[in-house]
């Protein structure tokens, strides 16, 4: 049976990082994540300002249920990976190269990308 290891890391307002949990799980269901988040709450984590997640099944729903004011951001690397099926093979290399700067987001870069790709790749832009 395959299992995955998960780490929950918290960063406080001073920038200090703390490992809040190290877990091994067989699946990443909403039920699994809800139990993790409830455990954090029971151990004193009162609020989560921002989460950066890879949009695992049920994770967003679990965060919203347990910490409804949390801003949920999808990891940029996963956004890029999830966008590539929309791109034809012949354009893939160029598009992924053009998406790479999105890791260091700038509004000007976003506008430039949209200007180039909106015509052919509406869903991606």
Q: For 54-73, what is each residue's pLDDT tens digit?
A: 777 778 888 999 999 999 98
- pLDDT (mean) for 106-111: 54
- pLDDT (mean) for 86-104: 74
- Output the pLDDT for position 8: 92
User: Are residues 37 and 63 located together in one domain of the fold?
Assistant: yes
User: Are residues 61 and 89 located together in one domain of the fold?
Assistant: no
- Output the pLDDT for position 21: 93
The pair of three-digit structure tokens given for residue 13, joined into one six-digit string: 């307002």
Query: How many Cα atoms within 13 Å fall on the side-chain side of residue 22?
Result: 2
- pLDDT (mean) for 77-92: 78
Nearest to 105 by CA among 70, 59, 82, 74: 74
Residue 87 CB neighbour total at 10 angstroms: 19
- Domain annotation covers residue 123: no
Of the listed ranges 31-35, 51-55, 67-71, 118-122, the least confidently predicted one is 118-122
- Output the pLDDT for position 117: 60
- Domain annotation covers residue 12: yes
User: Are residues 9 and 70 located together in one domain of the fold?
Assistant: yes
**More confident: 32 or 122:** 32
Indicate the number of domains in the chain. Answer: 2
User: Are residues 29 and 88 located together in one domain of the fold?
Assistant: no
Per-residue pLDDT at 23 exceeds 60: yes
């Amino acid at each position: 049976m395959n299992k995955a290891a998960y780490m929950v890391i918290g960063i406080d307002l001073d920038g200090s990082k703390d490992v809040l949990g190290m877990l091994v799980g067989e699946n990443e269901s909403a039920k699994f994540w809800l139990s993790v988040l409830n455990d954090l709450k029971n151990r004193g984590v009162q609020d989560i300002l921002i989460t950066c997640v890879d949009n695992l099944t049920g994770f967003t729903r679990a965060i919203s249920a347990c910490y409804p004011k949390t801003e949920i951001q999808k990891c940029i690397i996963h956004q890029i990976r999830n966008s590539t099926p929309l791109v034809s093979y012949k354009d893939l290399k160029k598009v992924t190269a053009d998406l790479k700067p999105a890791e260091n987001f700038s509004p000007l870069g976003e506008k430039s990308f949209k200007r180039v790709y909106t015509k052919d790749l509406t869903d991606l832009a």
